[in-house]
Structure 1
């Protein structure tokens, strides 16, 4: 029996990339990793954002009503944290943008068995290389690099294909009262909010596994061939 893990995230979310990396490290240490089904769910932090936005520092300054120096200090702190997980954040290159089409292509990549590679390339391209996440030509380039079928990519971007998949993911998040990402749900029972530590992710995976795979006792403990507390001859 496989264990289902759902991971809600947005490509433009700095904590999501960090959370993704920490979760992947935890999964690599999990004893039953080959029996875990990871489902990546779509979540838009700002569905109303324009396709191609502005400089990220300027955008955050307007959003939070802080000074440019305060925002730069905040982004430097996040970049330093990301570096601890081996990620390079270039806030000087980033620009805000609408991630809806990227999410649609992520659903396509899942159908083609290329989600893991495409998802990672999207994050790296946005946070490290300054990719315009809402630019269709940029998305086509990343999709081709990830091995997605070009004709299918064009078909998706020229239509509303997978829009319902994105909306379904967001509706499920809403039903769970999720208002921030990353958000992870293990077997519909254990939830993790935020980019928690590797240890927290790993502990939750183990709890979920024990819940769905209870131990089966072999032998009779009353046979007297075991030690329990003080009831043992040594």
Structure 2
């Protein structure tokens, strides 16, 4: 996708899924309501579609500074709630500054190709897992749960995975982050 796009999320979804714009709006309204139920504020009417490659590079840069989660959250809020253009470098620099990254270093990184290989590798891995939309949850590197779904759907899917893989988590102290999960030794 190009950086500057002249069509709305509704037009993109209608074209991608072969539905009317009204159906796309209704689907987005439903997602907004589901998000509200868990305390998120999605505003698809404000969303500016763009190529997010540089935003992903910025998240990888933020990871090296210990601010990956903060940067990810800031970009997502800017995109889904505030209607900011997260393909625009000036916007990304401002967002990086918001979470405590150095503006000059961020600007230099965005002007370079730094972290491009890292993002391309992530894209290849997503392709290997057949990930085509967000949100997408990968469990045990073999089970995928796609889309914004009700809590009950996730619980049912996780129960099936636990049953199929014979998993039983009985240990306290398991922690997970962007690199996976650490399970303490017995």
TM-score (normalised: structure 2): 0.74
Gaps of at least 5 residues in structure 2 are 172-186
Moved over 4 A (4+): 196-199, 203-207, 210-215
Distance 1:90 1:178 in 2: 24
- Deviation at residue 187 of structure 1 after TM alignment: 4.8
Distance 1:88 1:65 in 2: 27
> Could you say which residue in structure 2 is the equivalent of 1:134?
87
Pick from 56, 64, 82 the counterpart of residue 35 of structure 2.
82
SS where residue 5 of structure 2 aligns? strand
> Could you say which residue in structure 2 is the equivalent of 1:8?
none
Q: Per-residue displacement from partner, 1:133-162 (whole Å, max 9, x unpaired)?
A: 211111111111011122221121101110
Decide whether the 8 Å contact of 1:52 with 1:133 is kept in 2: no
Distance 1:145 1:70 in 2: 36
Pair 1:66 & 2:19 matched: yes
142-151 vs 50-59, which moves further:
50-59
Gaps of at least 5 residues in structure 1 are 1-48, 216-234
**Relative contact order (alpha carbons < 8 A, sep ≥ 6): 1 or 2 greater?**
1
> Could you say which residue in structure 1 is the equivalent of 2:108?
155
Q: How many residues align?
A: 167
SS where residue 184 of structure 1 aligns? strand
Decide whether the 8 Å contact of 2:89 with 2:107 is kept in 1: no
Pick from 127, 146, 149 the counterpart of residue 174 of structure 1.
127
Task: Give 1 or 2 for the bigger CA radius of gyration.
Answer: 1
Decide whether the 8 Å contact of 1:190 with 1:204 is kept in 2: no
Distance change >3 Å, CA 106–CA 57, structure 1 → 2:
same
SS where residue 52 of structure 1 aligns? coil
Q: Per-residue displacement from partner, 1:104-153 (whole Å, max 9, x unpaired)?
A: 00101111111111111111111111011211111111111011122221
Distance 1:136 1:85 in 2: 31
Identify, as 1 or 2, the structure richer in strand: 1
Pair 1:120 & 2:76 matched: no
Distance change >3 Å, CA 139–CA 74, structure 1 → 2:
same
Aligned-residue Cα RMSD (Å) equals 3.1
67-76 vs 110-119, which moves further:
67-76
SS where residue 166 of structure 1 aligns? helix
Distance change >3 Å, CA 91–CA 194, structure 1 → 2:
closer
